[in-house]
């Protein structure tokens, strides 16, 4: 019969003794060992911070998105009509060498929405891209949040020779006469979303003559315009480009000339030609209007107290026995304006016996 102890009990005892030995080593001088561990971590941190080529990440919030290649998109026959007017800011994470960590600022990084990526109409998702000013120093953009924006796209088209119409209200200042206003240019070319371009019925400019200064001469005003549909409703011009002869414009020039005015009577002297029939006489001459308003650059000759405008031809009453009514042209002498180019003249003719 063997005197050796059982193998199972010996193994458990050895394991227990070994575990106790390890615990004694760990707990022996534990304070020094803790200090050693902390010192090791510190040394590791110093070594890491001194290694300037180690990469680090830096976060920037509320970055604005730049829109690029708008012109390219239009050349491709497309235009964004929604999604760019109220763009949200984005957050980015940049990865760069440690030695430039403190000098890296948000302006070193640019986030872009490249419209040349768009190839079709409708709602499109546009992936944001990034660029870095001197990537050797400031690394690259590791992530963008959100990473894309959604935009609405339409066909881009144009129309030419759309007339500019003046909607005139008000009147010239008191004491002045105004010529018919003219607008420059008289026609415009419009480019933009197909849905808006198709709806344009007119280009309208609101022109209030009441805003004119009370002074003679040529007056010019720069005024905005609005596009309207066939029912007279204003159209959204946000995405329209208006031009004339290749020059982009947002206003037109309305020109008008003002002349001073004066009221003058119509001269009834030497208005008749010939004499009524024997036994008849002229009892009255009535002129309508009795006076007219004239306008010109220089009104000095017309301001004399005895001035009266005359007719160009006389009324022939030779042999007449009853009242005669005629229309006679006035001698406007090249005036810029006369309120009535002619007058209606009534020559009352009665027998001498009634006239007495």
Q: What's residue 342's pLDDT?
A: 96
CATH code: domain of residue 300: 2.170.120
Q: What is the pLDDT of residue 354?
A: 82
Query: Which residue, 146, 164, 183, sits at the end of a domain?
Result: 146
Helices (H), the chain: 7-27, 30-50, 70-75, 135-138, 194-199, 352-355
Check whether residue 254 and residue 340 sit in a common domain: no
pLDDT given for residue 247 in this prediction? 94
> Are 291 and 245 within one domain?
no
Same domain membership, residue 240 and residue 280: no
Please indicate, yes or no, whether residues 123 and 162 belong to a single structural domain of this protein.
no
User: Do 70 and 123 fall within a single domain?
Assistant: yes
Per-residue pLDDT at 334: 86
**Residue 198 in domain:** yes
Question: Is 95 found in the same domain as 67?
Answer: yes
CATH number for position 244: 2.170.120.40
Whether the bond into 146 is cis, omega within 30 of 0: yes
Which residues contact residue 149 at a Cβ distance below 8 angstroms, ignoring those fewer than 6 apart?
65, 83, 87, 113, 125, 126, 128
- Token pair in block for residue 140: 């690259």
Please indicate, yes or no, if residue 31 is contained in any of the structural domains: no
Domain final residue, candidates 99, 128, 146? 146
The sign of the torsion formed by the CA atoms of 263, 268, 269, 272 equals: positive
Neighbours of 171 (CB within 10 A): 12
81 and 170 in a single domain? The answer is no
Give CA separation, 88 vs 10, 83, 112, in Å: 73, 10, 13
Domain boundary among 226, 260, 294: 260
CATH number of the domain within which 87 lies:
2.170.120.30
Evaluate whether residue 19 is within a structural domain: no
The answer as to whether 161 is a domain residue is yes
In a shared domain, residues 287 and 228: no
Domain containing 119 equals: 55-146
Neighbours of 63 (CB within 10 A): 20
* pLDDT at residue 55, rounded to an integer: 86
In a domain, 323, yes or no: yes
Q: Which residues contact 42 (CB under 8 A, 6 or more apart)?
A: none
Whether 49 is in a domain gets the answer no
pLDDT at position 1: 46
Shared-domain flag, residues 250 and 271: no
Residue 5 to residues 17, 18, 168, Cα–Cα distance (Å): 17, 19, 123
Low-confidence residues in the chain, pLDDT < 50: 1-2, 4, 47
The answer to whether residue 15 sits within a structural domain is no
Total domains in the fold of the chain: 3
CA dihedral 67, 68, 71, 75 (to 10 degrees): -110
Q: Is residue 88 part of a domain?
A: yes
Q: Are residues 163 and 248 in the same domain?
A: yes
């Amino acid at each position: 019969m063997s005197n050796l102890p059982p193998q199972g009990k010996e193994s458990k005892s050895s394991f227990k003794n070994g575990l106790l030995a390890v615990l004694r080593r760990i707990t022996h001088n534990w304070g020094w060992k803790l200090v050693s561990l902390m010192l090791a971590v510190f040394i590791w941190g110093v070594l890491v911070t001194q290694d300037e080529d180690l990469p680090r990440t830096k976060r920037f919030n509320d970055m604005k998105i730049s829109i690029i290649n708008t012109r390219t998109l239009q050349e491709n026959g497309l235009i964004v009509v929604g999604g760019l007017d109220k763009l949200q800011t984005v957050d980015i994470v940049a990865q760069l060498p440690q030695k430039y960590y403190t000098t890296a600022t948000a302006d070193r990084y640019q986030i872009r929405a490249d419209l040349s990526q768009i190839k079709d109409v409708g709602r499109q998702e546009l992936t944001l891209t990034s660029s870095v000013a001197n990537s050797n120093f400031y690394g690259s953009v590791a992530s963008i949040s959100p990473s894309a924006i959604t935009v609405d796209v339409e066909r881009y088209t144009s129309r030419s020779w759309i007339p500019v119409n003046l909607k005139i209200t008000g009147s010239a200042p008191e004491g002045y006469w105004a010529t018919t206003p003219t607008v420059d240019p008289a026609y415009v070319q419009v480019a933009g979303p197909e849905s808006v371009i198709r709806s344009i019925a007119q280009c309208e400019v609101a022109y209030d003559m009441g805003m004119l200064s009370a002074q003679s001469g040529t007056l010019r005003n720069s005024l905005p315009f609005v596009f309207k549909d066939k029912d007279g409703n204003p159209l959204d011009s946000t995405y329209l480009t208006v031009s004339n002869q290749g020059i982009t414009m947002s206003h037109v020039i309305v020109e008008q000339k003002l002349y001073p005015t004066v009221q003058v009577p119509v001269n009834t002297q030497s208005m008749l030609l010939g004499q009524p029939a024997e036994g008849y006489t002229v009892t009255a001459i009535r002129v309508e209007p009795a006076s007219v308003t004239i306008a010109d650059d220089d009104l000095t000759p017309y301001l004399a107290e005895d001035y009266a405008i005359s007719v160009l031809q006389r009324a022939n009453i030779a042999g007449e026995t009853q009242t005669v009514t005629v229309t006679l042209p006035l001698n406007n002498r090249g005036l810029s304006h006369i309120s009535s180019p002619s007058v209606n003249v009534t020559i009352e003719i009665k027998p001498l016996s009634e006239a007495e």
